[in-house]
Amino acid sequence: MHITLPRIGLWVAGIDLLPTAETADLAAEAESLGYGALWLSEGLVRDPFMQAATLLNATKSLVLGTGIAVIWGRHPRNVRMQTRALLDAHPGRFVLGLGTSHARVVEDVLGLTYERPLATLRAHLDRLDEPDPILALANVTSDAPVAPRVLAALGPKALALARDRAAGAFTYLTTPEHTAQARAILGPDRTLIVEQSVIAAALPDEAKTLARQHIASYLAAAPYRATWQRLGFTDHDLADGGSDRLVTTLVAIGEDEIAQRIHAHLEAGADHVCLQALSPNLHTAPLNQWRALAPIACQPFRSSAFS
């Protein structure tokens, strides 16, 4: 199955904290602004697959994706059924993003044991791809569409798994240098989706504070620390809330810098860049930033198709 993505989309955290009707209006406005894709984080209070259904119903052509749905505690058969239902209702408009997240989410939030993440993800994919045992027992065949999937991947082994077992990879809080490295591992035939954190509309001091708070919230997560260290950041960069160099490298502030960072990721091999407009309050959607970024993000970039 092929699906077409625009060059630029949006990534949003915590949209499920807002009233359902408000989220539908937000998705409709994002579509009207010219954005072609919207990626949802793991749900905070609502399941991301259910949230995706709400937003797909509220729009006409917007592509929705989980970016990403955490596999721990989520049975592969349920994932398969949810994605089938979304694609049955909205053909070609849903992308399944899966990943292992990190220990803070899995252990502190879900209360599960975070161990052998790559092996666990590989086993989850095996179960996801096997014939449905319920259908087999009922002697029923299904020709339901299968959602194209991407895997959250930062390190070389995870990127290799995304190359071998998915349509591509989804990276988060990285740099154009990492994008080039990811493209080299994925090869030319896999799709590379890159999240880019941005702040488009804020006073300089407020933007720097918000950017630092955002990065600081990930400093204890081992997968991100390892990735940043591979990119040349030192223990000093990862201490005391993160160095100025780390923060400014990972968060693009201001429309000129955002445009340059988008271009750098695309030049480095990204097929799709999804912008995460940072907000000081998850209960307030960054709609003003989406509006401010639309002239930059929604220019006619060449589309990317993948399967």
User: pTM to 2 decimals?
Assistant: 0.93
Total of domains in the chain: 1
Of 178, 167, 202, 186, nearest to 96 by C-alpha is 167
Helix axes 287-297, 20-33, angle to 10 degrees: 20
Does residue 1 carry a pLDDT above 60? no
Split at pLDDT 50, 70, 90, the class of 137 is low
Percent of the chain surpassing pLDDT 70:
92
The answer to the question of residue 243 being in a domain is yes
The answer to the question of residue 307 being in a domain is no
Distance from C-alpha of 69 to C-alpha of 80, rounded to nearest angstrom: 13
Averaged pLDDT of the chain: 90
pLDDT in tens, 83-121: 999 999 999 999 999 999 877 777 677 777 888 999 999
Q: What is the CATH number of the domain that holds 236?
A: 3.20.20.30
The answer to the question of residue 190 being in a domain is yes
Distance from C-alpha of 189 to C-alpha of 187, rounded to nearest angstrom: 6
pLDDT in tens, 148-167: 899 999 999 999 999 999 99
The answer to the question of residue 244 being in a domain is yes
The answer to the question of residue 305 being in a domain is no
The answer to the question of residue 50 being in a domain is yes
Which residue segment(s) compose the domain that 40 sits in?
3-299
